[in-house]
Amino acid sequence: MTLYASDFDTQSKFLKAADIGPTDTAKRFKIKICTKEIVGDKEEAKACVWFTNHDKGLLLNATNRRVLQEALGNNMDDWPGKVIVLFITLVSNRGAMVDGIRVRIPPPKDDYRAPAAPAPAKPKPKPKPPPVEEDDDFDDDDVSDVG
């Protein structure tokens, strides 16, 4: 059996940009549950969203939390079942530009409406009957009275 040093690395239970993909990658995720996680040396409490289609959760920084709060409301108990998009973009971190995860809300599906059905054809108007000519005692075929 071969031992690898990397086998002993503790895998984070939280998403990193590399878990999503390279810069400009975007993926849809459906929120399963929201929790409070204690992280870091300072044991800071952070909001975290967990997904139905990924094993890792996303710790919410202030930017991502505000985006979700604005779109989904302040009560995080209402967030499960909602679909969000995580995308990778360059962000500034301690003076360096690094890949970071950002959140956006996808447009509602009903914005992708099928083309409108054509309007029903209007019935063609019936042709008007020719006007009834009154007899003026003028014979069109008889030119004898034309001088």
Residue range 35-66, pLDDT digits in tens? 999 998 999 999 999 999 999 999 999 999 99
| Residue 69 pLDDT greater than 80, yes or no | yes
Q: Is the pTM of this model over 0.75?
A: no
pLDDT band for position 146 (cuts 50, 70, 90): low
Assign domain 12-108 to its CATH architecture.
Answer: Beta Barrel (2.40)
Contact 85, 72 (CB under 8 A): no
Interval 74-88 mean pLDDT: 97
| Residue 25 pLDDT greater than 60, yes or no | yes
Coil, strand, or helix at residue 16?
coil
Domain spans of the chain, in order of start: 12-108
Tokens representing 137 are 């005692």
| Residues whose CB falls within 8 Å of the CB of residue 105, separated by 6 or more in sequence, listed in order | 67, 68, 71, 72, 84, 85
The mean predicted confidence, pLDDT, of the chain is 86
- If you count them, how many residues does the chain have? 147
Predicted local confidence at residue 83, as pLDDT: 96
| Residues whose CB falls within 8 Å of the CB of residue 102, separated by 6 or more in sequence, listed in order | 63, 64, 67, 86, 87, 88, 89, 91
